[in-house]
Amino acid sequence: MQNTNVAYDSKVEGEIIVTQADAVINWIRKHSVWPMPMGLACCAIELMAVGASRFDISRFGMEVMRFSPRQADCMIVSGTVTYKMAEVIRRIYEQMAEPKWVVAMGACASTGGMYRSYATLQGVDRIIPVDVYVSGCPPRPEALLDAMIKLQDKIGRERSVKNLTARNAKPTKEGSLALAGAGKES
Amino acid sequence: MVESEFAQLKERFDYLSARQSADHSAVNCPADKLVEFFTVLRDDLGYDLLVDVTAVDWDAQSPRFTGIYHLLSTTKHEYLRIAADCENDIKPSLPSLCGVFAAANWHERETYDLMGIHYDGHPDLRRILMWDEYPYHPLRKDFPLAGIEVPLPADDVAEATGVAVLPAPMMGGPFVSSADGPMSQTEPSARDESWTEQEEKPTE
Ligand code: SF4
């Protein structure tokens, strides 16, 4: 792996240690995802089922659902996003602390779903960067759990230290969509 | 409402006329008499529950808009539908019934939002579903289902994301199902599936 960050190299000496730092950070992050349930429509009912005992999201270390964006790092957009609500979602997303991830749960959040209409945003990825899309209307709880495991894999593959130093090195323009996704591997 | 009751009503309020209806009894009432009529219905005739306030857009006809009200009598277990034509086709208006039934408040806001009917005397006639600055009334016949391009309600979000309220891709829709035939053949489908948002809809 090419590490281009010289300042970091001089401190820790050697690329292999950087990889280990990534591994440690990612390992910590992926087993303590704090989801923020952005329940907007019927999909939210399945999201509740995922949190309940039968499907039990806590098996994957994600049971700490937070209703405050400042305490959460993974927004699960479960439901139909109207244009009126788009603004709210964007603001809540901006309030979440980095690193943060987004799961678009269900057809509506992913593409607008069956709501081809004047009132519905045709996919939440138009306003916030999405990491994992889940198909279904609504997706089965297993599907959401699968998506969360996929998200864990994705977190595990991130170059966290590099992202962190990159973020600290150049302050990002507030609210820019391109840079809001900077914490992610491309 | 049984025939005799309509006759009674008619005797008392000579401005009423019978309205054709497939289910519940229905009457036409002139817009300026609505408040008076509803007060009597509520106080003297037992129609104590306002179930629905809505409107019909008759498109090219005049009068173009008709306000529709559904009342239920919880003692007689009877529904009554009252229709009132709006005189003005360009800026339709009806008297507000908030003073008679408090339940009319949000219903009238909804009808104002989606149909553009102004309810005179409404205490707080704001949009209830669409955002306040939205320029159209989406349930009118001349409004396309996919929508019309307008800016996103929040300027800063629109600036940061470059998103606007765009007409939705209809992908050959709107999807319709034929009313008769076996269920296996009445799945909703597009009348004309040959176009998407990338390919123009062929003009017949
Ligand atoms: S995808 Fe289906 S279940 Fe989920 S919010 Fe949309 S309509 Fe409801």
Give A12-49 as a 3 state SS string: HCCHHHHHHHHHHHHHHHHCCCCEEEEECCCHHHHHHH
- Is the CATH code 3.40.50.12280 the one for domain A33-158? yes
Encode pLDDT of A84-101 as tens digits.
999 999 999 999 988 899
Residue B170 lies in a domain: no
Residue B97 lies in a domain: yes
Element spanning A51, H or E: helix A43-51
Nearest to B134 by CA among B105, B160, B154: B154
Q: What is the dihedral of CA A34, A40, A43, A47, to 10 degrees?
A: 20
Indicate if ligand 1 lies below 6 Å from the C-beta of A161: no
Alpha carbon separation from B147 to B52, B136, B137, B143, B174 (Å, rounded)? 26, 9, 10, 7, 13
Nearest to B157 among A86, A116, A117 (CB): A86
The whole-angstrom distance between A177's CA and the closest CA on chain B is 6
Nearest to A126 among B129, B148, B163 (CB): B163
Instruction: With 0.80 as the threshold, say if the pTM is over it.
Output: no
**Can you give the residue ranges of every domain in chain A?**
33-158
Across residues B170-184, what is the average pLDDT? 74
- How many CA atoms, within 13 angstroms, populate the side-chain half-sphere of residue A118? 20
Across residues B154-169, what is the average pLDDT? 86
The whole-angstrom distance between B152's CA and the closest CA on chain A is 7
Radius of gyration of chain A (CA): 17
Q: How many domains does chain B have?
A: 1
Nearest to A26 by CA among A99, A95, A129, A96: A99
Q: What is the dihedral of CA A18, A20, A21, A22, to 10 degrees?
A: 90
Q: Which residues of B86-100 are buried (b: 16+ CB within 10 A; e: fewer)?
A: beeeeebbbbbbbeb
Give me the domain span that covers residue B39.
3-129
Residue B181 lies in a domain: no
Q: What is the dihedral of CA A166, A172, A178, A181, to 10 degrees?
A: 50
Encode pLDDT of B85-127 as tens digits.
998 889 999 999 999 999 999 999 999 999 999 999 999 999 9
| CATH number for B91 | 3.30.460.80
Contact between chains at A126 and B152 (C-beta distance less than 8 A): no
